[in-house]
Amino acid sequence: MNAVNAVNAVNAVNAVTAIGTWVCLAFVIVGAIPVAVGLYQYLLVPIHPWRNHYRKAAPYLPRVSVVVPAWNEGAVVGTSIDRLVRLEYPPDRLRVYVVDDASTDNTPDVVLERAARYPGRVFHLRRENGGQGKAHTLNHGISILLEQDWTEAVLIMDADVIYRPDSLRKMTRHLADPTVGAVTAYISEGSARPRYLTRFIGYEYVAAQTAARRAQNVLGVLACLAGGAQLHSRENLEAIGGRIDTTTLAEDTVSTILTQLNGRRVIFEPYAVVLAEEPEDIGALWKQRLRWGRGNVQVTKRFAGLWFRPWKHRRLGGFSFGLIWFSVLLLPLTMVLSSIGLIGLFLLGSDLAADAFRATWFLAACTYLFITTMTVQIEPRTGRRSWREAVAFPGLISLLVMATALAPELFFRTIPALFGLELTAIGEDCVTLALYAWLSLCMVAAWLTKRVEKTRFGRVLAPTLMYLVGYGPLLCAITFDSYIKEFRGAAQVWDKTEKVGRVMA
Amino acid sequence: MSNPQPVGETGPVVPAGLVVPALPSEQEMVDEIDRDRRHERYLVRAALVATLIIGLALTVRAIWG
């Protein structure tokens, strides 16, 4: 009887082990999906020369009203207006409306001085009760514009961005096709002397816009119009309700999705370049991206009935777009799942642990090489300026983990032997577990980097840690924080990013 | 201080002294669209270079391994 019980117990343990192994393996595979989707998106980029909107574009110069939301933007708004009125665009077809959201600085004086200097072209619209956020400010201006027949297209921008002279007409040329509802430009990090963090952001913008949005042009569906450069046809703006969404923190994404749900196309124009000022410290970046991250969670919930349902909308509900959307949104979760899967396989004594680790990081290495090499070529100016940040984007520690996955003998035997060391079995297990856990630990390390920045030694330590831990893990940590804030129902505050006019300089 | 003229009313179009860049002619804009469309082919070259680098890395790995 005891023997039978023992056999049953062994069978039960084997069954549990087998199930555990499959579950852990599934976690690792799920963890690899966003990496594969990143590679897939980049493989679409070289198709853009054939699948783009240029064949339907034509010289077209509609009457454009520019809406500039401004809250305490006295340092930057004057230069923005000066650059707007000097755009290569017919002066009688361009008007600038600055919506002053009850600013308490010299914004009204600056704007009114420009209104006097450019009569009939620049207007100051004042909201006496402000502080409700960008979308409310925009709606104040849009409602006034749409009351007039003059406006044929509306350009929504930020007060601090600088449009290159040809950028607006390069955007309007797509509106010559009436099926296009909105066009967005390439927002480029524009500091004259960027610090390490702004160089990371500059590189990120090349990857996330000039590459990823070209891929979305190929798919015929765009995830987001850049908040600082979105041009809507009047018909489109009226079709989406004549106002900007005020219920989420990602009003630009909601406008993008509503435009496409209404049957109009949204185009990314890579040759319309807009320079923007970006945060110089991790704290400010965290605040900005937390807002974006929470906005994306809110948008995902709002359009919950759309994802992976091509019968609702062929492209927005398509499998490709759903994968791209959720790969970005759920990347931090899949990284944690991947770590759990690898550690689980290791603890279950499965030989699959090492194979899964190698396969995961082999895919990551190929994707990293492809994306990095492509990105620095797509925008050579940023590529030259930010090549160190391009290399260190995933973090130097992650690069070491990749190298370990590709050449384990080198790191477990050869290098320790150079120092006369030999890893014991326990030491080897500890290193292995640390490698498997790094996908999760890197986000904790990124959060610690943010904490370190506030300390006395932050100015020196934070940049060092950033290159070691990586900018990518920092973005993942912020996204993770956005889940937590949304889950807890934290107050939805429009935390404005402070701008001081570095781009103007 | 208030707006020099009511919102929506057209005033003098180009203030004296304001330098406005010359707008390209319609034909120049058509050529520019064509040029931008053709320029996109550089993405293929970029992808080929990226593929070549991955190939090199895999070759090094294979030789090393």
Bridge pairing between strands A265-276 and A162-163:
antiparallel
DSSP line for A353-387: HHHHHHHHHHHHHHHHHHHHHHHHHHSHHHHHHTH
DSSP line for chain B: ---SS-TT----SS-TT---PPPPPHHHHHHHHHHHHHHTTHHHHHHHHHHHHHHHHHHHHHHH-
| Contacts with B21 from chain A: Cβ below 8 Å | 86-88, 165
Confidence band (pLDDT; 50, 70, 90) for A7? confident
Residue B29 and residue A173: Cβ atoms within 8 Å? yes
Report pLDDT for A263.
95
| Contacts with B40 from chain A: Cβ below 8 Å | 48-49, 52, 54
B21 and A CB contact within 8 Å: yes
Q: How many CA atoms lie within 13 A of A364 on its CB side?
A: 26
Supply the mean pLDDT for chain A.
92
Residue B18 and residue A85: Cβ atoms within 8 Å? yes
Report pLDDT for A185.
97
Confidence check: pLDDT of A494 > 60: no
Q: Indicate the domain borders of chain B.
A: 26-64
The pLDDT tens digits of the residues spanning A281-298 come to 999 999 999 999 999 999
Residues 38..57 of B with a Cβ closer than 8 Å to A: which? 40-47, 49-51, 53-54, 57
Confidence check: pLDDT of A190 > 80: yes
**Beta-carbon neighbour count of residue A412 at 10 Å?**
17
Confidence check: pLDDT of A126 > 80: yes
| Contacts with A177 from chain B: Cβ below 8 Å | none
The pLDDT tens digits of the residues spanning A150-188 come to 999 999 999 889 999 999 999 999 999 999 999 999 999
CB pairs under 8 A between A and B: 121
Share of chain A above pLDDT 90, in %: 76
Residue B7 and residue A144: Cβ atoms within 8 Å? yes
Confidence band (pLDDT; 50, 70, 90) for B18? low
Nearest in space to A271 (alpha carbons), one of B53, B4, B38, B48:
B38
Q: Smallest Cβ distance to B54: which of A58, A369, A378?
A: A369
Report pLDDT for A505.
42
Rounded mean pLDDT, A389-400: 96
Angle CA(B59)–CA(A48)–CA(A361) in degrees, nearest 5?
Answer: 35
Confidence check: pLDDT of A131 > 80: no
The pLDDT tens digits of the residues spanning A328-354 come to 999 999 999 999 999 999 999 878 899
Report pLDDT for A495.
60
Cβ neighbours of residue A353 under 8 Å, at least 6 residues apart? A342, A345, A346, A436
DSSP line for A291-318: HHHHHHHHHHHHTTTTTT-TTT-TTTTS
Look up residue A140 and give its two tokens. Answer: 């104040």
ipTM of the complex: 0.88
Confidence band (pLDDT; 50, 70, 90) for B1? very low
